[in-house]
């Protein structure tokens, strides 16, 4: 079996092919004056588009579930999806995995202590923080939410990606 990320096609030994969507998910810390908030992101591996995001006041599963629901709304009917994450407690929780199972997603997780297996998610975090200012401390949660919404919009719709042939994630996502 071979996965070609650029064409999003799985090839099986018997000759069949299935078009799939591979999603990556991660949580990153966002500084606010009184501590931290937690940004959950779900991105499409092929297009690099952020398809789900949520800023939450705690590391509880609820924030990740909100981002997941946003991402689920962008899955075309009858498409196979592999949902990849690290082994964070939020992604291993019964509530989170039940949503994935009931929506027909296949679950994939990194091995323990293998952060490089989720490098694409880490790269998106770095881009948001260093190119769109999310590394700075925000005055409050509401200000952070506003900055994140704008950063995700710019990342998806304005920022050109060399890896995508100098197209935006939104353009590539719509074309796929």
Domain boundaries, the chain: 2-175
Cα distance between residue 133 and residue 131, in whole Å = 6
Chain segment 129-141, per-residue pLDDT in tens:
999 999 999 999 9
Read off the pLDDT band of 52 (50, 70, 90).
very high
Which pLDDT score, from 0 to 100, does residue 5 have? 35
The CATH number assigned to the domain with range 2-175 reads 3.30.420.10
Spell 114-127 as b/e; 16+ CB within 10 A means b. eeebbebbeebbeb
Query: Is the sign of the CA dihedral 166, 110, 37, 53 positive or negative?
Result: positive
Asked if residue 31 has pLDDT above 80, the reply is yes
Segment 142-147 mean pLDDT: 98
Q: What pTM was estimated for this model as a whole?
A: 0.83
Give the pLDDT mean for 79-107: 85
Question: Token pair of 1, please?
Answer: 């079996």
């Amino acid at each position: 079996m071979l996965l070609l990320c650029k064409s999003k096609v799985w090839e099986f030994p018997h000759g069949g092919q299935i078009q799939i969507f591979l999603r990556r998910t991660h949580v990153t810390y966002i500084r606010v004056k009184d501590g931290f908030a937690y940004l959950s992101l779900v991105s499409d591996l092929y297009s690099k588009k952020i398809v789900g995001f949520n800023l939450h006041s705690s590391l509880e599963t609820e924030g990740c579930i909100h981002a997941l629901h946003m991402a689920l709304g962008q899955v075309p009917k009858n498409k196979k999806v592999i949902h990849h994450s690290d082994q964070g407690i939020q992604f291993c929780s019964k509530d989170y995995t039940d949503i994935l199972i009931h929506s027909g997603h296949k679950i994939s997780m990194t091995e323990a202590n293998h952060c490089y297996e989720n490098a694409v998610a880490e790269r998106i975090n770095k881009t948001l923080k260093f190119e769109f200012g999310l590394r700075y401390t925000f005055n409050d949660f509401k200000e952070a939410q506003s900055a994140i919404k704008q950063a995700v919009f710019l990342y998806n719709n304005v920022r050109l990606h060399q890896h995508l042939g100098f197209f935006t994630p939104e353009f590539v996502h719509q074309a796929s």
